[in-house]
Chains A and B, each alone.
Chain A
Amino acid sequence: MSSSTLVSRTRYAVAENKLTLLAAILFALLIFCAIFGQMLAPYGPLMTNESARMQPPSWAHLFGTDALGRDIFSRVLIATRLDLGMAISAVVISFVVGTGLGAIAGYWGGWVDAIFGRVMDTIMAFPLFVLAMGIVAALGNNVTNIIIATAVINLPFYGRFARAEVNVRRDLAYVEAARMGGNGAIRILYGHIVRNILPTMLVQASLNMGWAILNAAGLSFIGLGVRPPTPEWGIMVSEGASFIISGEWWTFVFPGGALVIAVFCFNLLGDGLRDIVDPRRRT
Chain B
Amino acid sequence: MIRFLRIAGRRLLGAVPSLIGVIIVTFLLSHALPGDPAVLFAGPAADAASVAQVRAHLGLDHSLPQQFLTYVWQLAHGDLGQSLTTGQPVLTDLMERLPASLELTLVALIFAIGVAVPLGIWAATRPNSWVDHLCRGTVTIAAAFPTFFVALLLVYVFYFLIPLAPEPVGRLNDVYFDAPTTITGFYLIDSILEGNWQTFAGSLAQIILPAISLGLFALAPIARITRAAMLQTLASDHVRTARACGLSRRRILITYALRNAMLPVVNVLGMVFSFVLGSNVLIEDVYGWPGVGAYAVKAVISSDYAAVQGFILMMAVLYILLNLVVDLVSMIVDPRVRFEG
> Which residues in A have some Cβ–Cβ distance to B below 8 Å?
19, 118-119, 121-122, 125-131, 133-135, 137-140, 210, 214, 217-218, 221-224, 234, 237-238, 240-241, 244-245, 247, 249, 252-253, 256, 259-261, 263-264, 267-268, 271, 282-283
Contact = CB atoms under 8 A, between A and B. Distances in A.
Contact of B274 (A128, A137, A264): A128
Contact of B308 (A137, A238, A261, A271): A137
Given A247-B160, A253-B153, A138 B29 contact: yes
Contacts, number: 146
A122 B35 contact: no
Given A244-B155, A263-B144, A264-B141, A127 B149 contact: no
Interface string B87-111: 0000000000000000000000000
B164 to A, nearest CB: 15
Given A122-B18, A126-B22, A131-B312, A223 B146 contact: no
Interface stretch (B61-69, B170-178, B224-232, B245-253): B224-232
20 contacts: A121-B21, A122-B22, A125-B18, A125-B22, A125-B319, A126-B274, A127-B278, A130-B312, A130-B316, A134-B26, A140-B34, A217-B146, A218-B148, A222-B282, A244-B156, A247-B160, A252-B152, A256-B146, A260-B145, A260-B146
A140 B35 contact: yes
A248 to B, nearest CB: 10
A240 B156 CA distance: 11
Nearest to A120: B21
Nearest to B228: A283
Contacts of A234: 146, 148
Contacts of B21: 118-119, 121-122, 125
Interface in B280-309: 281-282, 285-286, 296-297, 300-301, 305, 308-309
Given A222-B285, A263-B146, A271-B140, 17 more contacts: A126-B312, A126-B315, A126-B316, A127-B275, A127-B315, A130-B278, A130-B296, A130-B316, A137-B305, A214-B147, A223-B297, A237-B149, A244-B160, A247-B160, A260-B145, A260-B149, A264-B140
Given A118-B21, A217-B146, A249 B156 contact: yes
Given A121-B17, A130-B312, A222-B282, A267 B144 contact: yes
Nearest to A281: B228
Q: Interface residues of A: mostly helix, strand, loop or mixed?
A: helix
B205 interface: no
A126 B308 contact: no
Contacts of A282: 228
A267 B146 contact: no
Interface of B: 17-19, 21-22, 24-26, 29-30, 33-35, 137, 140-141, 143-149, 152-153, 155-156, 160, 224-225, 227-228, 273-275, 277-279, 281-282, 285-286, 296-297, 300-301, 305, 308-309, 311-312, 315-316, 319-320
A267 B285 CA distance: 28
A256 B312 contact: no
A63 to B, nearest CB: 15
A218 B316 contact: no
Contact of A222 (B29, B152, B300): B300
B170 to A, nearest CB: 15
Nearest to A210: B144
A240 B153 CA distance: 11
From A122, A134, A224, residue with most partner B Cβ within 10 Å? A134
Contact of A245 (B18, B153, B160, B297): B160
A252 B155 CA distance: 12
Given A133-B281, A138-B29, A126 B227 contact: no
A267 B140 contact: yes
A138 B144 CA distance: 29
Nearest to B282: A218
Contacts of B149: 237, 252, 256, 259-260
Contacts of B140: 264, 267-268, 271
Nearest to B148: A221
B228 A139 contact: no
Contacts of B25: 122, 126, 131
A268 B140 CA distance: 8
B275 A129 contact: yes
A126 B319 contact: yes
A259 B148 CA distance: 11
B17 A118 contact: yes
A224 B275 CA distance: 18
4 smallest A-B Cβ distances: which pairs?
A: A122-B21, A129-B278, A264-B144, A256-B149
A252 to B, nearest CB: 6
A244 B282 CA distance: 17
B281 to A, nearest CB: 6
A139 B141 CA distance: 34
A204 to B, nearest CB: 14
Contacts of B17: 118, 121
B278 A128 contact: yes
Nearest to B220: A267
Nearest to B286: A241
Contacts of A267: 140, 143-144
